[in-house]
Structure 1
Amino acid sequence: MIEVLLVDDETYVTESLHATIPWTDMGVAHVYQAASPSEAIRIMEEQDIDILVTDIRMPEMNGLQLIELVAERWPDTRCLLLTGHSDFEYAKKAIQLQAVDYLLKPVDDADFIKSLSACIASLKEEWEKADEYHQLVYTMKSDHSVLKQNLLQELLLGRQLSGSSIASKLEQYEVKVRPDDSALLLAVQLGDYFTGMDHQSVSLMEYAIGNIAEEIFAAPYRVWHGKAPHDCLAIIVSASPDGDSAVFRKDRIRALGLRFQETVNDYLKGNISIVFSDWFNFPQELAGMYRSAQAAMYRLHQEDAYLVFLEDMPERRATGVKAIEELYKPPTLIQLLESGQWEGAEEKLRILFDALASAQVSREQLYEVFLSVSNAYLYIAHKKGIDLYGGEGGGVDLMLDRSMLQSAEKLQAWSNGMLGMLRSGWTDEEKYNKNHIIKQVQEMVLGDLGGETSVKTIADKVYLHPVYLSKIYKSETGESLGDYIIRMRMEKAVYMLKSTNKKIYEITSELGYQNPQYFSKVFKKHYGMTPNEYRDQ
């Protein structure tokens, strides 16, 4: 909330401004008054003053000298000058001292409100920028391993980020892999020795395996590893496309892969299987490589400790490939879901499965469809906080029910069922969040009608931007939040006028208004009569 200090040796000026300006509605919490520069300095030493409004002509120190001193000691304070003299030299000096505005006395309320509003808006903009900076610092100091993990999973699931955005995040999270690197994806499946462990032990093993990968694929490669969404590890190995061509040789990569498997076996006593993708451009082609690697792992899941390259896998039938291409035509399923186009997503799935029905597709190809569809579902569920793992038909965990890959019809039924669950969860989550916010806001207003209650203070408490909060409140209730606050105050005022003998100024103060005249004005606008007239009727 804003703190304002009014300074003038003619006290009627500050008293008039204090009494006639709708400070509370402008977001001002406290208005202090001083009759001299020395008193103003004392107040500023005791209070956090945001805006100083001062006359120029005063004894002992003029207003220009005062704001010059304020600029030195409290550089973040905005200064606004009032004077009865229209001499240009005053205005020029005020501009040099970076005063916000320069108004002539007698002050017109409308001009003063306009100038003060601009000053408040400038302050709030500065505070918002400061908040953004502190949030950035906080983010940078957060647990980078969690942030890196989330980013990796989102990229594997198909999230598209701009070049500048992905570069910024990778640098911020201290990831060595860079945009436009030539990269390989290693999809690593843990053997039975590891999967038989408890969850915490498996997590430790995965972390250790990732660290071993970083040691094995050392310079000139860059390495980024983490848990993939579908029960495996994803290790990205990249190199500059302009570097030594020897780093891209298959025999070198195979040798490092075998060494990787041997080291894990020697130190951790368990086997791992590896699928190497083709070289690709990072991050644009990462999601596609991940789907292909997962499809290969599904086909090879019965083999123990394998090491294969995607380019060595048998080619898929052309008819199946053509049908599956429908998945990747824009708008993609992720794009449709992210924008809430549920009918479009249903149509996308219908076209896809119509194409699959007329083609001969293998289980591996059906699994690729499952991966692409489930990746889209997982991404949106993760983003919206929706649980898809407990659903009927096994949710997104195919390991619970492989029968869906027996035919395109079964996979279609699963896809449609999961889409319905996602849509229901999205709707329930949105509705719950909004209802919860409205209830929380109304409790705050009713619990503190006499305090510093405003849209800004409430928005701060629920961690939302005031404009966004106002938009939600009005869309859900049909009434603006500001109007609701005033209505609740007016209803309490009516109750107090009817049931108590409190004086108008006491009611004014109890409802959080500092000016009885302004309170009476608001009351009359609401009920068509003044508080006294209402009490006397």
Structure 2
Amino acid sequence: MNILLVDDESYVTESLELTIPWTELGIEDVYRADSVDQALTTLKKYDIDIVVTDIRMPDRDGLELLAEIGNTWPHIRTLVLTGYSDFEYAQKAIRLKAGDYILKPVDDDPFMESIRRVVNEIEAEWGQTDKYNQLAYQRQSELELLRDGLLNDLLLGREASDRSMLSRLETYDIQIKPNHTAQMLFVPPGSYTQDQTEEAIRLLEYAIGNITNEILGAHGGVWLGRAPQGGLVILWQYDAQIYSGYKLHIRELRDSVHRYLKTNLSFWVSDPFVFPAEMSSTYRHMMRFAHLAYAAAEQGIHFIQEQHQPLERPSAMKFMESLYKPPALIHLLESAQWNAAKQKVDQVLDTMESLPLTHEHLYEVYLAVSNALVYMAHHHGYKLAASDSGGLDPFSAQQITGSLSKLRLWCNSVLTRIELQGTPSALEPSRSRIVKQVQEMVAESLGQDVSVKTIADRVFLHPVYLSKIYKTETGEGLGDYIIRIRMEKALYMLKHTNSKIYEITAALGYQNPQYFSKLFKKHYGMTPNEFRET
């Protein structure tokens, strides 16, 4: 903490600065001023936590300073210096929310006791603020995970009762109403994820979400999240009065993302549908055309109702339900349930044997398997060239989906190759990649709220499982690694910069300088101040 001493008799403040053991009281820097105007200049220039001011001063008195502090810096704690004859002024100071008054001439022990009490009050307040911020962040992180989980369930066709759906929407603070018409916007992943790290993608998606809420949210409820096979899904439930102009708002969204984020997004926009009953079929319908368009490098905004046949209802696609019902194909592959994954695909292909088929139906199965392939490659470091059999080439894809037998042969080949790359020996590079990704995130996030839980959220793993992987690969606990990297950074800043302790504290993502000092002492056997003095 920092303190400002104000008295027109400069020897008073000079004596206090030199004789009081400020560090023991938790005070980092001591500033002095001999007038109200000089005090206000100091307050504007430096981060002050406590002000001790005399009351009787020429020109402007301490009561004016207290009033100005109360209006402009209400977080600053104040104490007043006063003589016995000025007790009436002290009473006025108390009414101006001064924390205490100290009699002059100043006796060190009572003065230190007053300062110590104020420091303890501020520390307790900081602790409550930290706790509130941590709880608020934790709640927000948990809500995001719950929202994404519900969105994935609905997109993949998992049904819920009306009462359960309404309750979950309200609990998760989602502004979408069940049994009302909504519209779906799908953004293919390739339109914003190319050549980007996972951290950069997350930040970009966060920014896209903010712009979407600002533009589309001004006209109705918005729910944005990641699609199961990658990309973004935006549900928009707008007022019927703006139906005729909804296309303008979507174009405004795309233009704003391009203007502020320098990113060209491709949007696929569905027909209006009833939420949530028609959500899964709408999503499957969009995925077919969106991936075809992406393969052909089409960009821009595509309104499906203007270009394609009417939306198929679930009854017409009943034979495909097993492909989308949980557990999804991606989840089976992720958990190494190879036989179950093959059975899921075989069940769909066997059913298709007895049905009149279109190329679109075959292509839908192809997309489901290829999406799983891309997902596994991205999250586990597989080489696509060793797995795809040329199937991700748009021209090869047309040949593969030319007949049911060709599609079956390709699906079996791809799933077998994924299984071979999913053996324990092949998982080692994946674990190494996760460790490297975690270390990059820690290095990039030293000045932010970084913890095992926040890192685990970013790599989509349970904190306990991530800690186990990291400890197995490196021999060091992830929490210990985060603290070690921060302490090494602190050591460097103490040695090579003139930064104040509170500046180093903030640069490392800590809120409380005392807490940082305790960690530093535990790690190096001395406080930051002691290290600088050696």
With the shorter chain as reference, the TM-score category is 0.3 to 0.5
Higher relative contact order (CA 8 A, sep 6+): 1
Larger Rg: 1
Q: With structure 1 as the length reference, what TM-score do the two structures score?
A: 0.46
Q: With structure 2 as the length reference, what TM-score do the two structures score?
A: 0.46
